[in-house]
Amino acid sequence: MASITLFGSTGLIGSEILKLLEDDNYFKNINVVSRQDVELKSKKSKLRLIDFSNYNQYLSVIEESDVVLAAIGTTQSKVGFNKKKYREIDFGIISLAVRACKEKNVKHFSFVSSAGADINNKSFYLKLKGEIEKEVESQQLKSSTVYRPSLLLGKRKENRFGEKIAQIIIPILSFLMPDNYKPIKASDVAKAMVNESKNHGNGFKIYHYNKILSYC
């Protein structure tokens, strides 16, 4: 039985991860780290509201965890299209989390990035995702995995009109797309992250569409 910490449990992937963890007897303790209240349905789950700029609080919530999963981030609209704030959240949280994992000797860390992530990409979003991946790799954890899904399929709590349209149209055309850019169910990404956390191997790994599905 393992202890696990989850960063981000209210988003499309994170909420699916939480449901799987609470129903899985493999995990005896679940630390749910969030910026807001979260409804927990299992006695083994504990909500941890922290100051995401305070490194010591990361150390505290990760303490004695075997596995740490991160499906946390923001959107341009939520930060008023302020790229500095966006970076502070997306890069900052993962950076502090992975450093805490290193210090506390966590066995496995995995997080959600994006298809096309590349530090040399001209896109602010994809370049930033590439920088986050490099930061994780640089920590040389015992085991760490990057998940690179493309368009996520699933019902979000917030209304994103453009994404709703994309979720209808793009799957129809997915047979024309390279595998790494095909849309994928958020629930499948969640299943892969949870399943791999039980049998994760060693080293730094990057998983795309086909590899993600192989863990479902």
For residues 84-93, average pLDDT: 93
Alpha helices, DSSP H only, in the chain? 12-22, 55-62, 83-103, 124-138, 161-173, 186-198, 209-214
Output the pLDDT for position 124.
Answer: 95
Q: How far apart are CA 112 and CA 129, in angstroms?
A: 9
* Greater pLDDT, 186 or 172: 186
Output the pLDDT for position 48.
Answer: 96
- 135: Cα within 13 Å, side-chain hemisphere: 22
Output the pLDDT for position 142.
Answer: 97
Output the pLDDT for position 78.
Answer: 82
| pLDDT tens profile 51-79 | 999 999 999 999 999 999 999 987 777 88
| pLDDT tens profile 126-178 | 999 999 999 999 999 999 999 999 999 987 666 665 666 766 677 776 676 88
Q: Quote the crossing angle between the two packed helices 124-138 and 83-103, to the nearest 10°.
A: 20
Q: Report the b/e string of 11-25 with b at 16+ CB within 10 A.
A: bbbbbbbbbebbebe
Instruction: Report all structural domains of the chain as residue ranges with CATH numbers, in order of start.
Output: 2-152+184-208 (3.40.50.720)
CB atoms within 10 A of CB 150: 20
Task: Name the 3-class secondary structure at 30.
Answer: strand
Task: Write out the H or E segment, with its range, that includes residue 184.
Answer: strand 184-185
Q: How far apart are CA 94 and CA 135, in angstroms?
A: 9
Output the pLDDT for position 166.
Answer: 65
Q: Is 162 exposed, middle or buried (0-12, 13-18, 19+ CB in 10 A)?
A: exposed
CB 112 within 8 A of CB 71: yes
For residues 13-29, average pLDDT: 96
